[in-house]
Chain A
Amino acid sequence: MDGKTANANPTILDRSDLPTRQPALTPESRLSPIESTVPTYPLDPFTTSPSPLSSTSSDDATPDPIDAQEIYDLVANITDPEHPISLGELAVVNLSDITVHDAPHSPFSHVQLEFTPTVTHCHLATVIGLALVVRLRESLPARFRVDVRCKEGTHSTAEQLNKQLGDKERVVSAVENASLREALRKMMLSV
């Protein structure tokens, strides 16, 4: 078979088993399709105009903290550079390996993500790691410091890998590199 691919036959998780944010809806709190067969009118359109979006506009009083699931959702759909499969399905990123320390009042908040290459000699680990760093840097507020590391004992050259991914200067210049940038863009088409 094709020798170039790092791992031709990886294990794949079923999409429906990937961690998702369970809508905090109990059957009675959620609007069942039956209830929604009838439009809910504004009490009086003449005093408050009907809002097509009112359903989504929950109030700002109750903020949603940035949590591990949110981080996971940001990266799980990045596709592997050699399979048309998401890093979530390949279990390269796992919810349990994400730790978030969201402290709006301390000098900075912190996200650590440990990823698991599909095979310990995966030569694409660097690109994958880079994609994860870039995606998180691009998507998280400035107060977050992002540490992407390769999970303990899952890669032959984990140390170099982690040092590189931790080197801000390296990451920045990598992203300025046209070909790398294009590779990353492709991986993120479906995020």
Chain B
Amino acid sequence: MEARLYILNVEKDPAEAARIAAEAAQRIESKQLKLLELVQSIGEHLTDEDTTTRAKAIGYLAAVLDSLNPRTLTRHQIPVVSQFLCDRLEDETGLKSTATALTALGKMEYFGKNEAIMVATALVKVDLPKHPPSTRFMALSLVDALMARHRDALKEMGDTWIAGLADLVGGEKDPRNLMIVFSVMKVILVEFDISNHEELMFDIIYCYFPIAFRPPPNDPHKITAQDLKSRLRGCLAATPRFSGLLFPRLIEKLDSTTSSVKLDVLQTMSACALSYGPGTMSIHCSQIWDAVKFELLVAAGDEDLVKEALEVLMSVAISLSSGIRAYPSPNTPLARYLKAIVTECLNLLKEPQQKQAKPAGQIVAIVATASAVAHAFIVKSTFPVFMSILSDAVAITKRRALMESLNLMFEATGKVYGTWSEKSDPQPISNLLDEYSEKLFEVYSQALMGSSPEETSYRLTAMRGLGLLTKMRDYLADSEIGMVVQYLDDVALEWNEKEEVRDEALRILREISTYRGKLIMDITFPAFMARLPDSEEHMDEHKHYRATLEALAKLSSERPLFEVMLTRLLNKLDVILQENCSPDYPRSILLTVLYVLRGRATSPITSEEAKAYYQRLIPRLVTKTVLPLIGKSQSSTILADEKVVDVTGRLMVIILQNVDGDLQKSVVSDVFNLIVFNQPSSLLIDNSEAVAANFKPLDIDAESQTSTVAVLLAYVLASSRREIALPYEDLHNFLQKIITVAENPKTPSHRLALLRIIGLIVNKWMTQKTDIEKLEPVVEGLMKDITTTNGGFNNVSGERLRVVFWVVKALLMRVERLGLYYISKLIELLGDPTYGDMVSRGFGVLMGDDELLNKQHYAVVRLLAKQQVFSLCLPKLVDGFKSAIAETKPNFLIALSNILRNVSSSVIKPELPALLPLLLQSLDLSDAEVKAATIETLHVTLLESADALKEYASSVITRLLTASGVDKGTGNSPAVRISALKCLESFPEALRTELILPYKRDVLRKLMTVLDDPKRTVRNAAVDCRHKWFHLGEQSS
């Protein structure tokens, strides 16, 4: 009954069918239904001539069995059902469900050895290959299950099973099935006796090598070629019995031209070498060496191949080393293998500067990493020769090349006997390299310190070698390590050295600091600090203090060393401030601190750390900046120099950005006390009262150095989050105050600071509707005397105009309507003969990214702000340009280029048709900056949307050619010429050849003259550009 229901439902309603089966299972478990009855109930369908019905009937049984508790069926039932199903195996159409059923049955507790054998015997009679993959999959799953639970039974079957299995899986192609086949075969190869079927087994498996399988798109089973490769590799490596058949074939396949195959072959070789064991490998090692060495010494393919080839040689060495605990005696396979390698490589290494010496060195080193014994053998058989070459060879190229190979050996030694950073397991024999430690140290020291600075690579090699020797655990004596550090110090501080040499020295010093920090602190720091002058008059003997500072900074990139450096630098600063000196030196010292803090990307500064730095650094600096100004300190006023204050401010920013809100808040009020309210401020370590009384940086008539300190306000406002309320109740009033100061700035940096303060306040703290309403009259006021001007240029108006730009900038970042209103006004001003030029430059400020007024410093920046402004401006500019008088036309182009320079090309792209005519005209201006900017735009356009340029190609190319020529008064600065050439160089690749081929001859002719440009950089650009065009139109095969 259920059987029929199941059969009816299984296709149209699988869920229902499943339920029926489950229910049946239930009833069997609860003894309401006998399994045998159920089997009989499906019996009638098994005679049905409709094959699918028969299959479905068995499917029903399978489903029931699957949902049965494994313990339900009794010892007596199992054999019956097994027998029944085994008989069904002959019914091909039912195979899939029968296999499923058997798999389910196999899980039953009482399914035993006999049943397993019965099923296996029946199964091997099936002609599996002719069935579809999904059916084969079920059958193979059954095999897999049997192998998993009844391996011993199958082993008893002996050849019948193995031979039968071979027929079952032979010629399988479906990747999912192959995954099963490979894992099953692996077990067979490892555990079963295949002595009578070696060849057969091998053929079955090897026929799949190399796997050239590309997974179909959206393959449900997610099987990759790599999965198959590694499983197959597992089979091939499973039994040494294969070695005789496998290695010759693999070696043959090495001649393949496709590197993926080569790679597969080499990886397989390694895998086998590692698993076959020394006995087998001793037979094959020499032929492998001969084959692989060709790859390394002659073919010299890409890096991966080289790497894998070396891997093979090492794997063989590892295999041969296993079990050997003492120095290998000459007749051992290991010794013979290594001997062959050494003889050949040593021969090549005697001429180390030649091409093949490099791989030879790699080979020797890699086999030395295989084991301590291999290492011992290599050292013993090569180093005497190496050392004698080193002592004889005079040619530096020769010494250098050999030392390169020695360095590889040092790395190998590190791997075997451990480094200071990685301990290794205890090794059976001691490191034979020990006996050479003194000699090596001597040779390398000599090479580094005793050769002329021109010998770059020689000394680089020597330094790296010393680094590696130092790194080896318990190798060099501490005294020697100390000397290495001193050598490196000397190199790092020797300004006649090439930069790459000094940097390498610093790199190694940094490395040493990780395991010998003390040495760095005790030797290196004092050495470096000693090179820093204490005052102006010592300058000349230490005139390279900047380079010293740079070295210090590079060395102190991590916190522990940084702390030391900070202390020492601050002390040095105190010393310097005793006397007057130029601002550059103190500035450089502070910059060094800033540089390291900025470079701390690897390990971000924690707020706790930042707080510590704040307390150590900021009040100290501010105090030393301010006190001298009010005569409360004898030391120099140099910290108040605008260039120095600027750096102090930046230090505040980078530190304050990392401290918590509370500290930020208090710093803000402290700064306001100091600069705005003239109240006692805890930014000062002492004399805060006196300062409050006498230090008034915002007073109009304050003298320049004092005013400059206001710069700090800009930096603090930038670094504080918007949530932090400013301690000034009426912001509007405050803004006015600043604007008045800004109308008569003392210095450029003072002006910039004030403008930034204005921008920051407006953007970050004037967000209320009322604030904005209050702003409008302010701006009107500022612009009034400009718009109504008819006289000449007036400085105050100029300063006011600047303020307007910053206010508008701040508003536009938030895309405030008011801002958009004023930008149109500013565009109109471009037509003004007096202020037009200034306005055109202002657009650079308006659209440019400011270092402080930006998102990173908590400014409000609406999405796509620039884009909106751009699309608002563009049409106005185009019209303005058209209607403008010749005299003011350039203003519009300059404004345009200033805008374009600051918006992303994706924004520009759609507007190009409207833009290009203007761009081309900009190229005719004689303003170098505009030209450069325009060319940049054209270049980007060319690279990103060349088609837009298609119809302009001719005029663009002509103009670029003109722009690439030297000619007084054209504004073709070298920079312009270079960018023109670089742009021109991109044409051959950017546009279809047939489009630009017509210009080839002309371009080549014109560039002829550029080849004679007075500037070398331009000439180089011209050469590259001309080279590209020269080969234009030739098929690049």
Contacts and interface: CB of A to CB of B under 8 A. Distances in A.
Q: Do chains A and B touch in the complex (CB under 8 A)?
A: yes
Interface of A: 1-2, 8-17, 26-28, 32-35, 37-39, 41, 43-54, 56-60, 63-64, 66, 70, 73-74, 83, 85, 138-143, 181-182, 185, 188, 191
Contacts of A35: 546, 588, 591
Contacts of A140: 1011
B1037 interface: yes
Contacts of A41: 748-749, 752
A10 B397 CA distance: 13
6 contacts: A8-B355, A37-B591, A39-B851, A52-B936, A66-B1016, A139-B1011
Interface stretch (B132-140, B609-617, B1027-1035): B1027-1035
Nearest to B544: A27
B978 A56 contact: yes
Contacts of B460: 16
Contacts of A12: 353-355
Given A17-B455, A49-B841, A85-B355, 20 more contacts: A10-B355, A16-B500, A26-B495, A27-B495, A32-B547, A49-B894, A49-B898, A49-B929, A49-B930, A53-B973, A57-B928, A58-B974, A64-B1015, A64-B1016, A139-B1011, A139-B1027, A140-B1011, A141-B1009, A143-B1012, A188-B1027
B1007 to A, nearest CB: 10
A27 B549 CA distance: 11
Contacts of B1014: 60, 63-64
Given A34-B595, A37-B595, A45-B844, A16 B456 contact: yes
B842 interface: yes
Contact of B1023 (A28, A33, A139): A139
Nearest to B594: A37
A85 B300 CA distance: 12
Contacts of A182: 1034, 1037
A139 B1029 CA distance: 12
Contacts of B743: none
Q: How large is the interface on B (under 10, 10 to 19, 20 to 34, 35 or more residues)?
A: 35 or more
A14 B355 CA distance: 11
A185 B978 contact: no
Nearest to B592: A34
B46 to A, nearest CB: 70
A32 B550 contact: yes
B974 A28 contact: no
A47 B544 CA distance: 35
B397 A13 contact: yes
Contacts of A44: 748, 751
Interface string B954-980: 000000000000100000011110110
B876 to A, nearest CB: 20
A74 B821 CA distance: 56
B802 interface: yes
A53 B897 CA distance: 14
Interface in B325-343: none
Contact of A53 (B544, B594, B975, B1020): B975
Contact of A138 (B397, B549, B1027, B1037): B1027
A9 B544 contact: no
A139 B842 CA distance: 42
A185 B1027 CA distance: 10
Nearest to A29: B546
Contact of A60 (B838, B933, B974): B974
B52 interface: no
Nearest to A27: B547
A85 B594 CA distance: 43
Interface string B443-467: 0000000000001111010000000
Interface string B485-515: 0000000000100001000000000000000
B1034 A185 contact: yes
Q: Which 10 A-B pairs have the closest CB atoms?
A: A63-B1014, A57-B975, A141-B1012, A53-B975, A14-B457, A27-B547, A64-B1016, A57-B973, A16-B457, A139-B1023
Interface string B672-695: 000000000000000000000000
B979 A53 contact: yes
Contacts of B1037: 182
A120 to B, nearest CB: 17
Interface of B: 298, 353-356, 397, 400, 455-458, 460, 495, 500, 543-544, 546-547, 549-550, 553, 588, 591-592, 594-595, 598, 646-647, 650, 748-749, 751-752, 798, 801-802, 805, 838, 841-842, 844-845, 848, 851, 894, 898, 901, 928-930, 932-933, 936, 966, 973-976, 978-979, 1008-1009, 1011-1012, 1014-1017, 1019-1020, 1023, 1026-1027, 1030-1031, 1034, 1036-1037
Given A52-B901, A138-B1027, A143-B1012, A38 B544 contact: no
B1027 A50 contact: no
| Residue picked from B928, B1012, B1036, most chain A C-beta under 10 Å | B1012
Contacts of B798: 46
| Residue picked from B356, B647, B894, B1031, most chain A C-beta under 10 Å | B1031
Given A58-B974, A60-B974, A139-B1027, A38 B841 contact: no
B354 A9 contact: yes
Given A138-B1030, A139-B1026, A28 B355 contact: no
Contacts of A58: 974, 1015
Contacts of B353: 11-12
Nearest to B1004: A138
B282 to A, nearest CB: 27
Contact of A33 (B550, B851, B1009): B550
Contacts of B752: 41
Contacts of B1020: 73
B298 A2 contact: yes
A144 to B, nearest CB: 9
Contact of B974 (A57, A83, A143): A57
Given A17-B457, A140-B1011, A38 B546 contact: no
A185 B929 contact: no
A51 B934 CA distance: 12
Contacts of A143: 1012
Given A11-B354, A46-B798, A74-B1023, A56 B974 contact: yes
Contact of B1016 (A2, A70, A85, A191): A70
A35 B901 CA distance: 25
Nearest to B397: A13
A140 B805 CA distance: 49
A189 B554 CA distance: 36
Contacts of B936: 52
Given A52-B901, A57-B928, A46 B845 contact: yes
Given A9-B354, A11-B354, A138-B1030, A60 B646 contact: no
Given A8-B298, A10-B354, A37-B591, A46 B842 contact: yes
Contacts of A53: 932, 973, 975-976, 978-979
Nearest to A104: B1012
A131 to B, nearest CB: 13
B1027 A191 contact: yes
Contacts of A51: 928-929, 932, 975
Contacts of A26: 495, 544
B354 A34 contact: no
A45 B845 contact: yes
B546 A27 contact: yes
B1027 A54 contact: no
A31 to B, nearest CB: 9
Contacts of A1: 298
Contacts of B546: 27-28, 32, 34-35
A58 B1017 CA distance: 10
Given A12-B354, A70-B1016, A46 B802 contact: yes
Contacts of B592: 34
Contacts of B848: 45, 50
A139 B1016 CA distance: 12
B647 A38 contact: yes
